[in-house]
Amino acid sequence: MNAIEIRNLTKNFGPKQALSGLNMTVPQGVIYGFIGENGSGKSTTEKIICGLIHESGGSVKLYGKPHTDADVRAKIGVLIEAPGCFSSYSVWNNMKLQAANLGIKNADEEIIKVLKLVRMEGAASNKYKNCSLGMKQRIGIAMALLGNPTLLVLDEPINGLDADGMRIMREVLVDITKNGCTVVVSSHILSELEKIATHYGIVRGGKMLCEMTAEELEASCRTYVALKAQDTNRAKMILGCKYSRVEEDEAGYIRVYDMTTPEEIVTHLYENGILVSEIKTDKIGLEEYYIDLMKEGKR
Amino acid sequence: MTREIKFESPSFSKRLKGMLGVDFYRLFHTPLFYIFLGIAAIIPAMVSAMTMMPDQNGNTMTPLYSNVWQIIAASEPLYVINSIADYANMNMVFIFGGIMVSIFIGHDYKSGYVKQLFTTHAKKQDYMMSKSIVCAFAMACMCITYFIGGTVGGLLVGYDTAVNAGSLIIAILGKMIMSIGWASLYTFLNVIFRKFFGISIASSFFFGTGILIIGVAAIVENLAIPTAFLNIFLYGSSVNACLTSNVVTLLVCALVSVAWAVFYNVLGTRILYKSDVY
């Protein structure tokens, strides 16, 4: 049984169609990276899954049941945008209120457990308003984890975090899935998402462009040859005459995406009087794959 | 790794208990509640004291009231007001109460608490009920501080204290019971205007003043139609709880208050179910 199964989901905000027949399948126990441009429908989809907004059409099933069922809702943890906390209360009191709403019996024990999981056990007495952005995001995750949910929906949890904050968040998300929890996480920081996601869904214009596992992504990411030459511009021009796709990246490497070998490129440049100082083969990452996909979509 | 999932549907009592716990905790831990309790106590005391203050020429003003308890409730049901004294009694609590409820519920949306709440198993009717109960309790507490403030103010000014104790108690209880209906109305208004905090406050204030019923009462009186039917409205029943009240008045208050509370709760729940929450 899948954790989430969405079919033909539509959502209209007045005349604007935010979702137009979106399909989505999230297996249990995975970290599902939900990717898309601003306004592509990620947050709308997540809000529908969480019951914050109503769908205009289509079906949303969580563990095979309608997503509006109270028993299913009891199994979901959510962090949409910022956590819903009272700023003048302490972290502990905010957690206690959420635990009371969820009807958790041994609340103190569970709060300590989830605060430890998000590395926030030392900040329980801090007032929420005095917490940093990174801490607030982790508090939001801790609140979402109360009640031992089996599905966690996180909207942009790593936005605005510093490098250390991102590392902690990464570790936290991986820890959460160790006990079988399914995590749906949307983010624009694809390089971070790539480090933890086991499945991906790429959405565009309110539709799912593609869904794939990390392995499938790895297999479909193109290999390229990257090199540095003495005369970059001339090397680019010469290579451009022979190969169909030659680009220069931000680090000054010339990338040749066609099926070829470093030896063939070095020989070709040498024959044209250019010496290669550095050469390697590499694969494009999620970010580049995503950008390529978007470009193809636009074309 | 997948894990076995056991689905449990939390019972209504469990859900409501949890939500009431949170709302009562919030009520007792917000300065807003204590500020409004203070306002409810100070206003009647100030009204009493000011009516006995000398004017610019040093002449003592004509007292608005002849009796301490008229600050608590009118001598008889006065749907149409001729002076501020006819209006200024414990019914004013429902105006302050409306503002307090608007701020209290407005904070639910501002903080994102509602978003957090409705992503759990919480149901919309639980939310409406919990808010109505807690806000009714807060307004009933304000009735008590109003009574204390009014009594102390009236006694200090030196008003007469003669009263039918039974009617006075019934009037106070009647108004406290009316808090249930008023709180439900304000919760409903705040659910409708949840995205517009200013309009929430303004609408609560507007309905709290009872101006609509006062207007209708004026027309009805001019047409020489009996005004008793106005008791089916919240403001009408609140006015009806006066110093000539009896047990029937109390029953009418309970009936009207609960009926409107149910009406507003059902309507508010439907609106929450039909609309996007956040």
More confident residue, A179 or A5: A5
Closest Cβ–Cβ partner in B3, B9, B115 for A179: B3
pLDDT confidence bin for B60, thresholds 50/70/90: low
Rounded Cα gap, residues A63 and A60, in angstroms: 10
Query: Are A29 and B1 in contact (CB < 8 Å)?
Result: yes
- ipTM over 0.90 threshold: no
pLDDT confidence bin for B258, thresholds 50/70/90: very high
Hey, what CATH topology would domain A222-283 get? Alpha-Beta Plaits (3.30.70)
pLDDT (0 to 100) of residue B188: 96
Exposure on the CB side of residue B245, measured as CA atoms within 13 A: 31
Given strand A4-13, what is the order of strands in its sheet?
A: A16-26, A4-13, A57-62, A65-66
pLDDT (0 to 100) of residue A190: 85
Domain locations in chain A as residue ranges? 4-219, 222-283
pLDDT confidence bin for A166, thresholds 50/70/90: confident
* β-bridge pairing A31-36 and A16-26: unpaired
- Which two tokens mark A55? 């769908």
pLDDT digits (tens, 9 = 90+) for B33-50: 999 999 999 999 888 877
Q: pTM (2 decimals)?
A: 0.83
- Which two tokens mark A282? 């590499």
Q: What are the start-end ranges of the H helices in chain B?
A: 12-28, 31-51, 84-87, 93-111, 113-118, 124-157, 165-192, 197-208, 211-222, 234-240, 247-274
Mean pLDDT within A83-111: 92
pLDDT digits (tens, 9 = 90+) for A33-44: 999 988 899 999
Is A256 strand, coil or helix? strand
pLDDT (0 to 100) of residue A173: 86
Res. B54: pLDDT tops 70: no
Closest residue in A to B16 (Cα) is A101
Given strand A76-79, what is the order of strands in its sheet?
A: A76-79, A151-155, A182-186, A31-36, A199-204, A207-213
Res. A299: pLDDT tops 60: no
Closest residue in B to A43 (Cα) is B278
Query: Are A52 and B1 in contact (CB < 8 Å)?
Result: no
- Decide: A26 and A4 in contact? Cβ < 8 Å: yes
Question: What residues of A are in the B interface, CB distance below 8 Å?
Answer: 28-29, 47, 50-54, 63, 65, 69-76, 78, 80-87, 89, 97-98, 100-103, 143, 147, 150, 177-181
**CATH (one of 3.40.50.10860, 3.40.50.300, 3.50.50.100, 3.40.50.740) for A4-219:** 3.40.50.300
Q: Residue written as tokens 């501020």?
A: B84
Closest Cβ–Cβ partner in B21, B107, B123 for A70: B123
pLDDT confidence bin for A131, thresholds 50/70/90: very high
pLDDT digits (tens, 9 = 90+) for B168-222: 999 999 999 999 999 999 999 999 998 899 999 999 999 998 888 888 888 888 8
